């Protein structure tokens, strides 16, 4: 009891307050401190709170639903080349890559090759997509992307241009499977020469 009495006397001497008044003021100060602190975020708590992509602190609202994964388009499966035999230019155009279920074909000097394995080059959006589904001999010989050159007419080509075409043909023969030949065109290419074929009624 002596210690308690001494502490109370010392408190009154230093503060000028009675012990009851001192503890009342101390309690009020603790309550005010707690109220003020609740208005602000503790730095440690701030570090624990998740941050949104916008940089703001996430609230207690439920998180947004997870985005559903979008199904990825499946790349077209490369099928074994199918021999088509005789094909007209009109029929050949159906194999230009617009239908992913059909092989990708193009013709050089009347011979049709399956270029499906190089869809990134000859398929839609590829650098050589213009040649798909077409007889491209003249365009390849001239190294031309002009649609008017997408035909098998070799008339007027120089020897160097014919050699360029021959190089292309060798590359195609090595890399791709021949699946048919063009028929029924007004001008059919055979052995590097243009021959008039019989016109059909």
Helix pair 19-38, 2-15: axis angle to 10 deg: 70
DSSP characters over 126-194 = STTGGGTTSB-HHHHHHT---GGG-S---TT--HHHHHHHHHHHHHHHHHSEEEEEE-S-SEEEETTEE
Q: Are strands 177-182 and 105-108 parallel, antiparallel or unpaired?
A: unpaired
pLDDT tens-place string over residues 142-177: 999 999 999 999 999 999 999 999 999 999 999 999
106: left (phi over 0), alpha (psi -120 to 50) or beta: beta
The answer to whether 179 touches 104, Cβ cutoff 8 Å, is no
Mean pLDDT score, 60-85: 68
pTM comes to 0.55
pLDDT digit string (tens) for 117-130?
999 999 999 999 99
Q: Is the pLDDT of residue 52 over 70?
A: no
Lowest mean pLDDT among 20-24, 50-54, 154-158, 168-172: 50-54
3-state secondary structure of 114: strand
- Measured in residues, the chain has a length of 201
pLDDT of residue 35: 79
Q: What is the mean pLDDT of residues 82-91?
A: 87
As to burial, measured by CB atoms within 10 angstroms (0-12 exposed, 13-18 middle, 19+ buried), residue 95 is buried
85-182 homologous superfamily: Cytochrome b5-like heme/steroid binding domain (3.10.120.10)
Give me the pLDDT at residue 197, please. Answer: 41
Please state, in angstroms and rounded to a whole number, the distance separating the CA atoms of residues 4 and 20: 14
Instruction: Give me the pLDDT at residue 40, please.
Output: 64
Mean pLDDT taken over the chain: 78
> CA 35 to CA 18: how far, in whole Å?
26
pLDDT value for 19: 74
Of 64-78, 79-93, 133-147, 177-191, highest mean pLDDT: 133-147
3-state helix, strand, coil in the chain (%, to 5): 40, 15, 45
Sequence ranges of the domains in the chain:
3-39, 85-182
């Amino acid at each position: 009891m002596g210690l308690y009495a001494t502490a109370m006397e010392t408190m009154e001497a230093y503060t000028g307050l009675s012990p009851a008044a001192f503890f009342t003021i101390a309690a009020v100060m603790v309550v005010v401190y707690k109220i003020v602190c609740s208005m602000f975020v503790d730095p440690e708590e701030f570090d624990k709170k998740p941050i949104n992509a916008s940089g703001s602190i996430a609230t207690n609202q439920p998180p947004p639903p997870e985005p559903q994964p979008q199904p990825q388009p499946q790349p077209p499966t490369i099928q074994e080349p199918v021999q088509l035999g005789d094909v007209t230019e009109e029929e050949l155009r159906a194999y230009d890559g617009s239908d992913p279920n059909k092989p990708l074909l193009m013709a050089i000097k009347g011979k049709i090759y399956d270029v499906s394995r190089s869809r990134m080059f000859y398929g839609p959006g590829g650098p050589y997509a213009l040649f798909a589904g077409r007889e491209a001999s003249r365009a390849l010989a001239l190294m031309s992307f002009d649609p008017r050159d997408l035909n098998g007419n070799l008339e007027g080509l120089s020897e160097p241009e014919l050699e360029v075409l021959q190089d292309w043909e060798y590359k195609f023969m090595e890399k791709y499977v021949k699946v048919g030949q063009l028929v029924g065109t007004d001008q059919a290419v055979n052995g590097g020469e243009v021959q008039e074929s019989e016109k059909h009624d």
